[in-house]
């Protein structure tokens, strides 16, 4: 079945969020939402999330699931706000526990912080299926960018998070804790085994050189034949060498420090300290 996909783009973080609807009912899921955040002032707002809220209410949709493809390092999740306003259960990959353990130590978080993924309503494993209306979400574990990355196959559409970008832009970095270029190569090959016509939806686009418009949708066959990093004929060793060299030249994402601290908590802010203020930490010379 062909789900109805509505796209929301945040140009500040180059992030695509999706409302995916069952065409035979009012049921939907929301994938990879964005909470706006100004790093200079430390202030957040819900302007981007409000666009999704307004759309869902105008269309009289029922939100069954709020899905995260992984713990994002480039934007904050708006899942708690959307859950408050629209309902639904929040889900992420079960390997979130690995990510939480790594970053709980790095940020020296409060002792009460749980690293068992219990901040989320559901932890997802390879092969799990979630139902909304007459459609199902098939969970694919696609690690490499992070150990917890998932792709969501819904009818003829797959939402790949940061595993792949548009064919003219390439693939995701693998130098975050737990990232692995060989794992990413294997995950991509698995996605390439989906039917050629499968619609593939990106989480980000940065406009490749020479392209004037942002893009978010391609197909499995287009990626397999034309992805500049990993098209047919590129060996695993060639890909790993390219990815490692490229990653060594990349700067850290602007919002990595606030994003990881918030997103590993399922989008919630750290608890307030004894003066009533919540704080994010900046580890010095640690990354």
Domains in the chain: ranges and CATH: 4-261 (3.60.15.10)
Per-residue pLDDT of the chain (287 residues), as tens digits, is 799 999 999 999 999 999 999 999 999 999 999 999 999 999 999 999 999 999 999 999 999 999 999 999 999 999 999 999 999 999 999 999 999 999 999 999 999 999 999 999 999 999 999 999 999 999 999 999 999 999 999 999 999 999 999 999 999 999 998 999 999 999 999 999 999 999 999 999 999 999 999 999 999 999 999 999 999 999 999 999 999 999 999 999 999 999 999 999 999 999 999 999 999 999 998 76
The closest of 104, 239, 101 to 180, measured between CA atoms, is 239
The closest of 265, 264, 259 to 282, measured between CA atoms, is 259
Specify the DSSP class assigned to residue 262.
H
Quickly tell me which residue has 């992070």 as its tokens.
Answer: 146
Model pTM score? 0.96
Tell me the pairing of strands 27-31 and 15-21.
antiparallel
Specify the DSSP class assigned to residue 23.
T
The phi, psi pair for 123, rounded to 5°, reads -105, 130
Q: How far is CA 216 from CA 160, 164, 231, in A?
A: 11, 11, 18
């Amino acid at each position: 079945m062909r789900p109805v996909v509505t796209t929301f783009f945040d140009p500040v973080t180059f992030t695509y969020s999706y409302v995916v609807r069952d065409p035979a009912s009012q049921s939907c899921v929301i994938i990879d939402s964005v909470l706006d955040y100004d790093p200079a002032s430390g202030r957040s707002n819900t302007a981007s999330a409000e666009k999704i809220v307004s759309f869902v209410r105008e269309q009289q949709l029922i939100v069954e699931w709020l899905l995260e493809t992984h713990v994002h390092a480039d934007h904050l999740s708006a899942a708690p706000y959307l859950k408050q306003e629209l309902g639904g259960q929040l889900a992420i990959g079960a390997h979130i526990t690995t990510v939480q353990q790594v970053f709980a130590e790095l940020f020296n978080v409060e002792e009460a912080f749980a690293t068992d993924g219990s901040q989320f309503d559901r932890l997802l494993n390879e092969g799990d299926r979630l139902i909304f209306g007459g459609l199902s979400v098939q969970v694919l574990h696609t690690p490499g960018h992070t150990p917890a990355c998932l792709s969501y196959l819904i009818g003829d559409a797959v939402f790949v998070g940061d595993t792949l970008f548009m064919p003219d832009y390439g693939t995701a970095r693998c130098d975050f804790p737990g990232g692995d270029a060989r794992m990413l190569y294997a995950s991509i090959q698995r996605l390439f085994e989906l039917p050629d016509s499968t619609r593939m939806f990106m989480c980000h686009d940065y406009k490749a050189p020479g392209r004037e418009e942002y893009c978010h949708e391609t197909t499995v066959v287009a990626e397999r034949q034309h992805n500049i990093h990993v098209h047919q004929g590129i060996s695993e060793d060639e890909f790993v060498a390219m990815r490692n060299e490229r990653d060594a030249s990349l700067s850290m994402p602007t919002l990595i420090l606030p994003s990881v601290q918030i997103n590993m908590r399922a989008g919630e802010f750290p608890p307030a300290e004894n003066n009533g203020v919540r704080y994010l930490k900046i580890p010095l010379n640690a990354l």
